[in-house]
Chain A
Amino acid sequence: MTLLSFDWALIIEKLILIVIIVLTTLLITLYTTFGERKVAAILQDRPGPNRAGPFGLLQPLADGLKLIMKEEIIPTSASKWLFILGPGLAMTASLMTSAVIPWGTDVHLFGRTIALQVADVNIGILYIFAVVSMGVYGIMIGGWASNNKFSLMSALRAASQAISYEIAMGLALIALLMTTGSLSLKTIVADQAAGHWWNVVYQPLGFIIFFICAMAECNRTPFDLPEAENELNFGYHQEYSSMKLGFYLFAEYVNMIMSSAIMASMYFGGYDLPFFDETTVAPNIAAMIGVGTLLIKIVLFVFLFMWIRWTIPRFRYDQLMNLGWKTMIPLALFNMLLTGALILAKL
């Protein structure tokens, strides 16, 4: 199957993989919203959603249906194209991260070796960094196109917050790169799975910095300044209704899942199940075990995000900026220097 001297079977294989990953992510996202409400309910000592279906399990479907059925409103003074582009960009950027995450070891099907990773580029980490910096455009464009001063203020807040925390995030990543010596996520995860310690052992401070910055990039409480209801009414999505609003809300959860997947892959061994030798089982079964392990790690991280959200109140804006510029960046620089010194001492 070669047309234009190109292996089209590879394209089909990757397309199927992309569709599976996107659909699974969206399905998990649906149930993350349910999980968030349940976790909030448990932490606040109340039952939470329990009416739709057994244990309220159909609640996310009811929520989705409600969002779709609502009236689509585009404000007359809004910039129409950008108003529609905003939520689409937010969703696309958050889903694009999934391309470089290795979901498991290779699968052997129909005589082909299929890598459970859409693109093994040797700049995987930088790709994630680029996509994260794209994510802020969805919010900025949406907030500006709404032609509402609260939305605009919120969009500007989101942008400055994202830029501030991206710096510390990048510096934390540099320290990780110094220990791994590779930018490819596949190599990083394979190294951890091949019997070394997980990277969090070498980079505990780097992980904490990365985690805090990821929380800020996802606009989660205590960093949800762009959506501060009591100051900005609702934030950048104030003028949005129906599924366009739904896209913004879902994009936040997709972001959360993706950053959990990245943290699990970079610091916690990715698809590596600890104290288990994958070579003792068939390769396909080992791959499935890997996918399951990664999913469990993602769920644990998502739970951590929710736990923090329902425990800590929101920062004030100047506190947020002080934390970003005067605490996180010096800490990340110190971490980088320390890592460099330790590597030099070991040589």
Chain B
Amino acid sequence: MSIIQILFFALSAFAIISAVMVLISKNPIHSVLWLILVFFAISGHYILLNAQFLAIVNIIVYAGAIMVLFLFVIMLINVKKDSEPQKQFLVKLLGVVAGGSFLTLLVALVKQTGQLQGRTLLMKDGVIGLIHPLGKALFNEYVVPFEISSVLFLSAMVGAVIIGKK
């Protein structure tokens, strides 16, 4: 096994274990902290794919900003594990069915995609995750979708400010 494969399996195990811990932690604060570790593991995968920019942006935006807000809200509303409402059996069952269907869908999609069949992951290769190629692609080929998504962000921001003012 090469060092990249070792890193890949270690990171994958780390990500999966952390993701499982997010689900089985009783305390919501612990769940959020495990989720931060999941984001770190995913960033590690990005680095293995030579996508340093995506890795660091993943950490800044998800682990750094969004998760701080999650922690913030959970700490403020002070969820205790006793006061959390117990979900009914039917709701749990529906959750399992919905999640299971989504997993089946994902697996089916990946298995059907011709590009992915019979191929292993390319590591330490490609440049699309580096900042220069990514910036060129975003502002040349995908400039219209990029601008539309930024308008979407702006409207979400305006909406948040208006709700906050009420």
A interface residues, Cβ below 8 angstroms from B: 4-6, 79, 82, 121-123, 126-127, 129-130, 133-134, 136-137, 140-141, 144, 152, 155-156, 159-160, 162-163, 166, 183
Q: Is the contact region of chain A dominated by helix, strand, or loop, or is it mixed?
A: helix
Indicate if the CB atoms of A144 and B52 lie closer than 8 Å: no
Indicate if the CB atoms of B3 and A122 lie closer than 8 Å: no
Indicate if the CB atoms of B64 and A133 lie closer than 8 Å: yes
**Taking A140-B75, A152-B75, A156-B72 as contacts, is the C-beta distance between A134 and B64 under 8 angstroms?**
yes
Indicate if the CB atoms of A122 and B68 lie closer than 8 Å: no
Indicate if the CB atoms of A126 and B72 lie closer than 8 Å: no
List which B20-34 residues lie within 8 A (CB) of chain A.
27, 29, 33
- The CA-CA distance from A159 to B75 in the complex, in Å, is 11
Q: Which residues from chain B contact A159 at a C-beta distance below 8 Å?
A: 68, 71-72
B interface residues, Cβ below 8 angstroms from A: 1-3, 6, 27, 29, 33, 36, 52-53, 56-57, 59-60, 63-65, 68-69, 71-72, 75-76, 130-131
Q: Which residues from chain A contact B27 at a C-beta distance below 8 Å?
A: 79
Q: Which residues from chain A contact B57 at a C-beta distance below 8 Å?
A: 126
Chain A min CB distance to B58 (Å): 9
Indicate if the CB atoms of A5 and B72 lie closer than 8 Å: no
The winner among B2, B63, B68 for most chain A CB atoms within 10 A is B68
Q: Which residues from chain A contact B69 at a C-beta distance below 8 Å?
A: 163
Q: Which of A79, A121, A133, A166 contacts B52 (CB 8 A)?
A: A121
9 contacts between A and B (CB under 8 A): A4-B3, A123-B53, A126-B56, A126-B60, A129-B60, A133-B68, A140-B75, A155-B75, A163-B65
Indicate if the CB atoms of B71 and A127 lie closer than 8 Å: no
